[in-house]
Structure 1
Amino acid sequence: MNQQLYILTGASRGMGLAMAQQLLAKGNTLLCISRNASPELTTRALKSGQALMQWTHDLADAEGVSARLRDWLQSQDPGHFASATLINNAGVIPPVLPLRQSQPADLARALRVGLEAPMALSAVFLGATESWPMPRKVLNISSGLGRHPMASQAGYCAAKAGLDHFTRCLALDEALHAHGAKVCSLAPGVIDTDMQVQLRGTASEAFPDQSKFAQLKASGLLSSPEQAAEQVLRFLARADFGQLPVADVRG
């Protein structure tokens, strides 16, 4: 039986790790690209006999990681797969500061990991699999902060807004081809991850919305990484996936 191929970035922790665990549990072929490999995923794959590859690569090096992905995809036999999906999940939140206090290197890293790498990986994924006959999808993990501005979050907000808009452009490109990929930039809701810890822990003087994030935690309104992963993967499996190039799991 042909395998479903998933390529997932940022799979070593948080929602990315939860997605990887759930994809492995369903017997898929999984290629993870993260700064660090997950021993937990390795153990799970060995026990279940599932096909798992983990590449350790800094996604700030978009050119390097995309070239490696292109070479790997071109070496594959598409007959082994029933579908192919790229999930751009990795992101970086720079220090929570007004832009005038931010360091250029921090801003550059947030944009490289959160926007440049997804664009580069999407380009090589779609180019290398253009002749593959099976369904193909690109899922970009966005954020409500890409659609709603927030003080002291310019770098992260800009990366996610760019992710949304490049996905809109990509959807137009792919719609011109009979075998074009289905694409979507999806906001996964508010999740109890390291990012939330960072936002809650920032001094209110530097981050005017700090109390809002603290209240989300206190009120129990944050999804667990596992819950969020399940919602995202359910959305990815929907028959109408890609009908809207920019969407939210909450409707």
Structure 2
Amino acid sequence: MDYAMITGATRGLGESIAKRFIEKGISLINVSRSDNASLRELCEERSVSYQFFQCDLSDPQETEEMMREAGSHVFSLNADRIYLVQNAGVVTPINPSGQVDNSDLKKSVHVNLLSPMIVTNEMLMASQGSSSQLIMVNVSSGAGSRPVYGWSTYCSTKAGINMLTETVSLELSKNGSRHKAIAFSPGVMDTDMQGTIRSSSEESFADVENFKRYKEQGMLRDTDTVAEVLVKLVTETEIESGKLYHVNDLL
């Protein structure tokens, strides 16, 4: 049996990705701050296993300890494939540099970049000696490839995610590993994060009116559509390790 380990599967894109894996008969490991009863019920209906590891990904020490436990556990299951989807993320702080609260900045860096680095490190250590193939998917953003006024933290962390993906892939290739790592840019979606963006002032976020227009004109994709694209990509195609995939190119 294959397993999907997803960070932030409680709601939004993470929940939609989890549902798509379950519907394919793939067991779920949810790494989040809170549990998701509907995912647990869906796993029972589809006769696949469900496990929840409670973890605050803004806390590096907790992330390290929990992922050491979760990684050891999942690689003891002798799965053919383990899909690791690092989906958890925060868009705040939304403010130009010089007007950012440092505590918000640190939380963003911890959730968006440091925790994925720790999770990657722990999962690769746990994989040593296992015959299971690890497929790592890091959820990125278009903001990781271009500057956006008011998003210096978010842009920087997502750029870091892209480089983490490329570098880990290079290392895996040089070491002859069959594990793979890709990044996935999901585009603009109808999520709580979009609501946070739209509530920003124009002084804090110069593009706020564009994001309001996306909502008003129905230009935001639903998370189920994006999740279906991602899960189909990693389960039905031969992915290119190190590549940044864009949802617009796959629809």
Q: Contact (CA 8 Å) 1:170, 1:183: kept in 2 or not?
A: yes
Letter in 2 for 1:250: N
Superposition misfits of 4+ residues, deviation over 4 angstroms: 75-79
Shift of 1:244: 4.4
Contact between 1:110 and 1:155, CA under 8 Å: does it hold in 2? yes
AA in 2 matched with 1:133:
S
Which residue number in structure 2 is paired with residue 4 of structure 1?
A: 2
Which TM-score applies when normalising by structure 1? 0.92
Which secondary structure state, in structure 2, belongs to the residue aligned with residue 99 of structure 1?
coil
The match for 2:208 among 196, 207, 210 is 210
1: distance between equivalents of 2:190 and 2:78? 37
In the TM superposition, what is the alpha-carbon distance from 1:238 to its structure 2 partner? 4.5
What secondary structure sits across from 1:198 in the alignment? helix
Of the structure 1 ranges 88-97 and 238-247, higher mean CA displacement relative to structure 2 is found in: 238-247
Alignment-derived partner of residue 227 in structure 1: 225
- 2:91 and 2:245 mapped to 1: Cα distance? 21
The whole-number CA distance in structure 2 between the counterparts of 1:106 and 1:6 is: 30
**CA pair 75-212 structure 1, distance change in 2 beyond 3 A:** closer
Change (3 A) 1:248 1:76: closer
Distance 1:145 1:111 in 2: 15
2:131 counterpart (130, 133, 140) = 133
- 1:249 deviates by 2.0
Q: How much identity, in percent, do the aligned residues show?
A: 27
Alpha-carbon distance in 2 for matches of 1:217, 1:76: 39
What is the CA–CA distance in structure 1 between the aligned matches of 2:125 and 2:242, rounded to whole Å? 22
Structure 2 residue runs of 5 or longer lacking an equivalent are none
CA distance in 2, matches of 1:57, 1:75: 15
- Match of 1:60, SS state, is coil
1:249 aligned residue: 247
Q: Which residue of 2 aligns with 1:65?
A: 63
- Kept in 1: contact 2:3–2:27 (CA 8 A): yes
* Cα deviation, residue 75, structure 1: 4.4
Conserved 8 A contact 2:7-2:30: yes
Partner of 2:11: 13
Q: Give unpaired runs (5+ residues) of structure 1.
A: none
* Counterpart code for 2:52: Q
- The aligned counterpart of 2:24 is 26
Pick the aligned partner of 1:190 from 181, 188, 191.
188
Greater shift in the superposed pair: 176-185 or 156-165: 176-185
Alignment deviations for residues 37-65 of structure 1 (CA, whole Å, 9 cap, x no partner): 11211222233332001122100123322
CA RMSD of aligned residues (A): 1.7
The amino acid across from 1:5 in the alignment is: Y
> Offset of 1:179 from its aligned partner?
2.6
Give distance in 2, aligned partners of 1:237 and 1:72: 22
Matches within 5 A, 1:138-177: 138-177=136-175
Against the structure 1 CA distance between its residues 23 and 207, is the aligned structure 2 distance closer, same or farther, given a 3 Å change threshold?
A: same
Residues 13 and 223, structure 2, Cα contact 8 Å, conserved in 1: yes
Compute the displacement of 1:226 (Å): 0.7
Specify whether residues 219 and 244 from structure 1 end up closer, same or farther in structure 2 by C-alpha distance, changes over 3 A only. Answer: farther
> Tell me, what secondary structure is at the counterpart of 1:131?
coil
Residue matched to 1:112: 110
